Amino acid sequence: MTFYGTIKKDQKTKSLCKRLQPGEIAFITHYNIDEVAAQELVEKKVKAVVNAHESFIPSFPGKGTDYLLKNGIFVLDKVGMEAFCAIQNGEWVEIRGQSLFTSSGKVFQGRIVDPGLLNVSSKDLEINLARQLDCFVQNTLEYARKEKELILGKLEFPPLNTQLTGKHVLVVVRGKNYKQDLRAIRSYIKEVRPVLIGVDGGGDALCELGFSPQMIVGDMDSVSDESLNKAHEIIVHAYQNGHAPGLKRIRHLNLQAKKISSPGTSEDLALLLAYENNPELIVIVGSHTHMIDFLEKGRGGMGSTFLVRLKIGHKLVDARGLAQLYRGGIKWTLVSALLVAALIPVIIMASLSPLIRHIFYLLTWRLGF
């Protein structure tokens, strides 16, 4: 296979996706591509993906790489950081088999990733999965033991400008199928009008659908400036020692923000923040809930997430199941029945009205029936 095109690169795939145009070649440094990143690359309609690192590893399913291949995107990986540093943004390149040719005459070698390669990895996975699960459970319990006091009782939450008490709260996380699931519950958002909280890039998804997030929570590494400016309130997730790298960006934009130091993920913090303000219901889109989600992100356990779900579970609803129901599409049998029901009054009126009967008679005579 041979591909020509403009190549764009970034060490963060989520940042690169904001700059990609259809037909371009994406150059990433993404060890073990996760499914969310793959979905965004497919959404950008890239011609090919070049990866400096391994696109998948045999330790657990290479869902991201598999998603790219199933959507017809060529993947060349293990090209190396030397190539990443040498190739310029916007440079014209050619991919010919496992070779990457640059406009400056340099040639770099990689590995073509195909379904057969992934199938071999899947066989190794069956052997490793039990070991991975055992380690993950052990790590989760260890993290939960260390973090239980902080998560379940000792976090300090500042007073919010946004009113959550007694309301539905929708928390949008940049997780698997988050954009599709969010579109599927658009009618719920319009009818119920929940308080909208975007967790980092989840704020962008809300804005793309035409909604303004009342609140954005996170470390501010994947949300756009436009979304931050639209948010009514910003909560920066800080480390337990109080350091919050995201505050620098907020100040650069001349925006105001509150800071909360918390262990765990920004998703955990957003859910706890909502819960502590006594909402009627918390709905979450794009949540990370199972082992593969966390392993893809390089996390060996889910202690804080496990504890948060224990605490707020009676008020939490995952929108993913609801979205699956919405995806059924229009059932034309029901539409037909509705049309027939709507025609019944017309037929009755026609049978009772001499004038309408006469019009139908002239019409059928004119048409030759």
Q: What whole-number distance in Å separates Cα of residue 177 and Cα of residue 320?
A: 8
Question: What is the per-residue DSSP string for 264-313?
Answer: S-HHHHHHHHHHHT--SEEEEES---SHHHHHHTT-S--HHHHHHHHHHG
DSSP 193: -
> Would you state the pLDDT for residue 116?
84
Average pLDDT value for residue range 284-313: 68
To 5 degrees, how large is the angle CA 343–CA 345–CA 346?
A: 65
Q: What whole-number distance in Å separates Cα of residue 4 and Cα of residue 91?
A: 11
Query: Is the model more confident about 289 or about 27?
Result: 27
Bridge partners, 95 (sequence order): 3, 100
CA count, 13 A, side-chain hemisphere, 153: 2
Q: What whole-number distance in Å separates Cα of residue 39 and Cα of residue 71?
A: 10
Average pLDDT value for residue range 277-306: 71
Whole-angstrom Cα Rg for the chain: 26
Model confidence at 361: pLDDT above 90 = no
User: If you average pLDDT over every residue of the chain, what do you get?
Assistant: 82
Pairing of the two strands 316-318 and 281-285: parallel
Which segment, 30-34, 82-86, 218-222, 334-338, is predicted with the most confidence on average?
Answer: 82-86
Q: How many residues are there in the chain?
A: 369
Percent of the chain at pLDDT exceeding 70 = 72
* Residue 346 exposed, middle or buried by CB count within 10 Å (0-12, 13-18, 19+): exposed
> Would you state the pLDDT for residue 330?
46
> Would you state the pLDDT for residue 150?
58
Bridge partners, 113 (sequence order): 75
Q: Crossing angle, helix 35-43 and helix 63-70, to 10 degrees?
A: 20
Please report which confidence band the pLDDT of residue 326 belongs to, taking 50, 70 and 90 as the band edges: very low
Helical segments of the chain, H only? 13-16, 35-43, 63-70, 81-86, 115-152, 178-184, 186-192, 202-208, 225-230, 246-252, 266-276, 291-296, 303-312, 319-326, 332-352, 354-367
Average pLDDT value for residue range 209-225: 93
> Would you state the pLDDT for residue 354?
58
**How do residues 82-97 score in pLDDT, each as one tens digit?**
999 999 999 999 999 9
Q: What whole-number distance in Å separates Cα of residue 85 and Cα of residue 218?
A: 30
> Would you state the pLDDT for residue 6?
96
To 5 degrees, how large is the angle CA 172–CA 69–CA 286?
A: 10
Model confidence at 30: pLDDT above 90 = yes
> Would you state the pLDDT for residue 62?
73
Question: What is the per-residue DSSP string for 148-173?
Answer: HHHHHT----PPPSS--TTSEEEEEE
> Would you state the pLDDT for residue 53?
95
The answer to whether 165 and 278 are in contact (CB under 8 A) is yes
* Residue 7 exposed, middle or buried by CB count within 10 Å (0-12, 13-18, 19+): buried
Average pLDDT value for residue range 223-243: 93
CA-CA-CA-CA torsion sign (53, 56, 59, 64)? positive
> Would you state the pLDDT for residue 90?
94
> Would you state the pLDDT for residue 202?
93
Which segment, 74-83, 115-124, 155-164, is predicted with the most confidence on average?
Answer: 74-83
Q: What is the pTM of this model?
A: 0.70
Model confidence at 237: pLDDT above 70 = yes
Average pLDDT value for residue range 49-75: 88
Model confidence at 322: pLDDT above 70 = no
Flag the least confident range among 163-167, 172-176, 307-311: 307-311
What's at 362, amino acid-wise?
L
**How do residues 134-150 score in pLDDT, each as one tens digit?**
676 666 667 667 666 65
H/E element holding 93?
A: strand 91-96
H/E element holding 96?
A: strand 91-96
The answer to whether 60 and 292 are in contact (CB under 8 A) is yes
Q: Reduced to 3 states, what is the DSSP secondary structure of residue 212?
A: coil
Q: Find the largest Cα–Cα distance for the chain.
A: 88
